[in-house]
Structure 1
Amino acid sequence: MLLAATVRSQVNPEICRYPLGMTGGQIQDEDISASSQWSESTAAKFGRLDFDNGDGDGAWCPDIMAEPDGLKEYLQVDLRSLHFITLVGTQGRHADGMGNEFAQRYRIKYSRDGSNWVGWHDRKGRQVIEGNRNAYDVVLKDLEPPIIARFIRFMPVTDHSMFVCMRVELYGCEWLDGLVSYSIPDGHQMIYRGLDVYFNDSVYDGASAESSSVHSFTKLTKGLGQLTDGTWGLDDFLHSHIYGMWPGYDYVGWSNKSIPKGYVEMTFEFDHVRNFTSMKVHCNNMFSRGVRMFRQATCYFRSESDWESDPVSFRPTVDRVSQSARFVTVPLGDRTASAIKCRFHFSDLWMLFSEVAFQSGSAVYNTSLTPRKHGHPTNILPGDDPTHKVDDSNTRILIGCLVAIIAILSAIIVIILWRQVWQKMLEKASRRLLDDELTARLAVQTQAFSFLHSSLSTESSSTTNSTYERIFPLCSDYQEPSRLIRKLPEFAQSTEQLGPSTSCRALAAGGSDSAPHYAEADIISLQESSDSSTYSITAVNMNLFAGTDSSMREFPRNKLTFKEKLGEGQFGEVHLCEAEGMQDFLEEDLSIEGNNESPLLVAVKTLREDANKNARNDFLKEIRIMSRLRDPNIVRLLAVCVDTDPLCMITEYMENGDLNQFLCNLRLKEAADEDKTGQEDKQDKSMVSYSKLIGMAVQIASGMKYLSSLNFVHRDLATRNCLVGKNYTIKIADFGMSRNLYRGDYYRIQGRAVLPIRWMSWESILLGKFTMASDVWAFGVTLWEILTLCKKQPYSQLSDEQVIENTGEFFRDQGKQVYLPKPPCCPDRVYNDLMLSCWRRNAKQRPSFQEIHSRLMESLA
């Protein structure tokens, strides 16, 4: 428990991945500057990743073409305080198709004080970062090593003269240590059984110089490096966390023989005066190879110009049993300082450190009676004149009164809320009994998920900071469990049964990875969300669809003729209508079925009359999103009716209806008949060939490839959500759930969530996780539907509860999971290499829609 508490207090690059505000607007325009700008509409303030409020050209562009050395033009971001930066994202200027400028490569410079600038390089010394290959895709790059800085400059690099434009985002978290530099002797070289082991600080970003003492050594000053990079060394120092690095890379180490004083002296400089409680040092203790923890640490403190005479000393307990590396906590006695000098004494031939971190609070050191800032701890430096100390007795009384008032108000609020909750509990008692019965049945089948509760509760207490969405490229497959699973009584079991991937799962438990969704179904992510429409981007919180589409025109309501009610959707009713004169009303580049003489068949979504403000905003938001989708295999938004209530959006509807019903009425043409030409009998219209079926799947994969290129998650991909036009044209739609015909395809939970569980991946059902990888799973089921001509529902032999039980088998991965069988007409290579790959347990191992599209095209060749 003590070790776990120690680890959580350090910076962890896997958690520290929040967007710092270029996308969300938390970074103000005045904090974004540049060396130059091509025009007012490409000023520095427009260099925000995927952020376009309509008054710019969509990116920062320098005044002149970027120079090949990439050192003259830059976009600079001021974060206002030190931050630990682990990830950067870049994008070009597409300006809704009007621009095509981007940076193929770039460098990064950073500064902690605004005057001393350092060029970033990776752990192998490379300075140039590979950037974008087109103007619209976001490219994310992990920074290894991470950067600790306040100011960041992006500097485009080109192999030849070309115009470049950039939009950027930074990801990380605030650097709470306050450490701005440390000075140490550089590490030494060990020769172990003929193997060269280097313990130098290879990523140090300060200065180095040879000492003038009798025993010459290299002194590192005014920088930060491996002791603050968030990477802790392994137990065996001959191996490294970082693939491909040399033995000893994780550690900075010194030999007792090379330092005759018997101790290593380190000086730590901080951003301002702080009150220090402890220092944590990660040490190696492989004593079988002559390496041990330090014998004693003696620390001196400085607040102004001179070092204080009374140090703090600490002797850790000697461990002669365990050779595992560990954090050693050095108590600093609540001493106040802006710099600390520590001497670490050898207890063996070698001493190896991989990380140093400090726990402190800000302190105010005044020599006047100026009132103390609220929130700073009261600290008195040794040697101060008592007449000049701040008398904080009144402050303590005031704080006590405020605490009492807050406690009284909290009690009143709790009583009011309890009364309301009690009334609701009485009203919903019967429904809870039914829900508990279902939960009990699920609990029997999902004992393997017991670890999630303990992991979640542990992490939620330590990751309370953020309204932002975190990015987890290292372990992005897991997030908070759904309410179904969180209620299971087995959650109290230990997490030790989980194996090596437990930390990743627990790590993401508090994160949100929900993405903008395309499906009309009221599918919720089961994470206590107040409404089911979340419009954040997977992997990056991209506002792709901000602003309105000026080309979306108001269609006269009197030209809509009601034909059929398709059903109830998320916002209200969905009608099948004929639109008179729609062809003359549309843009010239929009190709739709029909002719100018006959009315056009359309689907009309309406917003219910009793919709609240949030639902109205969501409806308008969906209009903005739909208006931006431009792909031949995606149903288009044609027009809107928003001048008066009810609000309506008018979308395409194909003459042959949805793909599910279309295929149900067909029969598969025998393989021997596929190559026949010439005479056609009347039955040909009710028959379809295997190649035609694969052609339909290719079109669906193409449409999904387009959606995934926008990081857009459908969440309800199925044949019922695909429309069929002339010549087997397929377009992906978003209102399958709104048709009463398909109510049986959805499983209802707690009376409010509806889930197409037979098409959903195991992580979507059990973890509430909807991603592009879960869409790939649904595509595999959709392909199975197509090749079986939708004659049966997926997993028709299983009840809904058994389908949920089967997802538990996918999670446990013990070979007991049930897959959909191979359709009779499906070749082995399509089933084994494509369909089954879509249902792999590990979401990262599933193919992308780009790969799926390519494989299907190859199967047609």
Structure 2
Amino acid sequence: MATQMLPLLPALLTVLLVSWTAAQDCRYALGMEDGTIPDSDITASSAWSDSTEAKHGRLSTGEGDGAWCPAGPVFPSGSEYLQVDLRKLHFLSLVGTQGRHADGLGREFARSYRLRYSRDGRHWITWKDRWGQEVVSGNENTYDVVLKDLGPPIIARMVRFYPLADRVMSVCLRVELYGCVWKDGLKAYTAPVGHVMDLSDTPVYLNDSIYDGSKEAGVMFGGLGQLCDGVLGGNDFMESKELRVWPGYDYVGWNRETLGQPTVDIEFHFEKTRVFHTMQVHSNHRHTQHVRVFNEVVCEFKASLLSPWAEPALSLQVPLSDLHDPSSRTISLPLGGRPAQILRCRFSFSDRWLLISEISFYSSMNTHTPDLSQAGLPMAKDDSSNTAILIGCLVGIILLLLAVIAVILWRQYWKKLLGKAQGSLSSDELRVHLSVPSDNVVINNTNTHTYSSRYQRIHTFPDDRDREGEYQEPSTVLRPREQPHYGEASGAGGSVPHYAEADIISLQGVSGNNTYAIPALSATPTDCPPLPELPRERLLFKEKLGEGQFGEVHLCEIENPQDLANLEFPFNVRKGRPLLVAVKILRPDASKNARNDFLKEVKILSRLKDPNIIRLLGVCVSSDPLCMVTEYMESGDLNQYLSHRVLLDKTGPSHNTPTISYPALISMASQIASGMKFLSSLNFVHRDLATRNCLVGGERGEGEDRGGERQIKIADFGMSRNLYAGDYYRIQGRAVLPIRWMAWECILMGKFTTASDVWAFGVTLWEMLSVCQEQPYSHMTDEQVIDNAGEFFRDQGRQVYLSRPAVCPQGLYELMLSCWNRDCKLRPSFAYIHSFLTEDAMNMV
């Protein structure tokens, strides 16, 4: 029975998940109230005074005189506006407004308003509801927050609120936007205008009624509409989930004879070049009324607007199963990891009519996927009981389906894996693999702590005790066992002991990063002097770098750091220049366990004193919120630094793009190896080594160093940054594991050691020599990367390695390959790697 259900579950789950996304995941407050949206991104047409300027238009806050108020009355012109720039495309499902209360002194509010939005800052579109109405009802008093669902939703980067009045009067406004990052990256699609179907003298309008682009000569172009609004049509296209709309509203449909061609051609334009893995199309199949799913799709790919269409086109046959089932269905079409900024897909008719409700894409950026995690942001509170009931039902159904799927996949996966592995595994190896589904991770058959919520196993199971939002205290420390030593490689220095062969403690970091893992005996060091208490008023906020379950990471400045006598670190900062620092802040409402972990993390990080490791400078622990202050390098992280450069060749610079030389890259890599050599000497394991977690010294805008080098320091908060959310494999929507940088034994067995850090260093070196122009294994999906780890485990010659970068000498590539050796004992030590990069690699051409 379970096997028979399995083919039906993906389609059903897709329907539920899309509804869930629209109803739940895309209703997060985007940062007006909590300050995530900076003042600089809030502007207005005018302001009554400095105390009522745009930055004061934040929901439920009372800064200044309590709200944004325009300079003059909004009647009759209605041209005054408050503008919010979200800096990237977002899917907006809800808005909130409030008047100016100002402790009873101000009584201005807007009874209604209009919304306009833009995806590019140039072309502005007036929002209309599903019945064509532009005016949104607003507030009835100065203090209540009024939330309005956006039906249809808005996909935009910028939004303007235009307060309205029916007479000459003063109005003031505070606002909030709710939604999520637009993950598809789709900014427009071009398609034929939908047609009208006549059924028993009842016209069925199958037009794209919410399309916000232009329409000319029977073609829609330059906008978005119902094909990406998150609403899936039902089995009967005559009915709709919306009230008071016409038959056929949920679908866009075309008639083969009216269209005059055998295919419906739709062109999709994206913000940037992406790697496309899957396209999902929700289509109607009311075959009794000559409506059927398409039988073939031919897709063409174009790298940019001016590029030619790539050859060959991708042709996909669609097997029409259940031909007599009139149910609508979601069809998943593999796109093979093809890169493009523009797609053109031709959908072939199977009958007179083709009706499509929704088209979505699973894709990734060429270098990084869009930032998409909104975890931890406050949810909008909607008093609609129907919405609450719908969400509750969806949650229950999804949890039930996930449990069924997990049980089915768990049984089939392990049955298949054991069938393949029994012939070649020793009894010890078999025991390690069988340990994975249990509640405890087994490292070399020694039970250790339960994983924290941030670093979980790749597969989750029904009896898994890890819950999102619940802190897991490390279990009781077991008796240490003898540590096997990690062999010397090609004349390396002294042998490096494996980390994680003995008992370990792993902390849930403030920003959720759980990065450094250390031997249990190091958890409470006694040989470190107390860190200086820094006056928190000297920390001037610049921007938010990232956040996690228990806290946030902010970029701050310390003005005149030389004046702080208790800062003992010798800063290379000119007098009068501020010092950039990263500040990890623990949320005041964090649990007692999280607070204890914070203090342990402070003690542990205070031991890391190396020129190539980010240094902990001081703390603010005399009052809440608890803070730790670390170095921050002025040129940002290495990934961003390199991705904006090209490699300097022998002919010298030929353009204005900043360059980097091969010797400079090797010098930077040598510094990373030196820092990792220091960490491994303490038996520390980083677990997230990558260019995003290395910071670059030097001042921005100075010394663009046509081939020069900079100081590099290893950090640990890359996981908390939304910019790099796409570098982490997700389980149930959360960033979990950097699988593209992880050794096979980390992915399959949860075994993190110094040797697995060596593997990650090899990937980091590959990133650097590729000048961070693409993600590792960019041609593979996350699931294929995990499958590739299985090929390393089986060791039958089918594993795939990262290819040699064009500028990488063969000798250096062989070093990378040795870092990716299946046998962790045969991987080089960091001492050897550092020696090789310092003495040998610099002379390679």
Q: Report the TM-score, using the length of structure 2 for normalisation.
A: 0.45
Larger-gyration structure (1/2):
1
State the TM-score, normalizing by the size of structure 1: 0.44
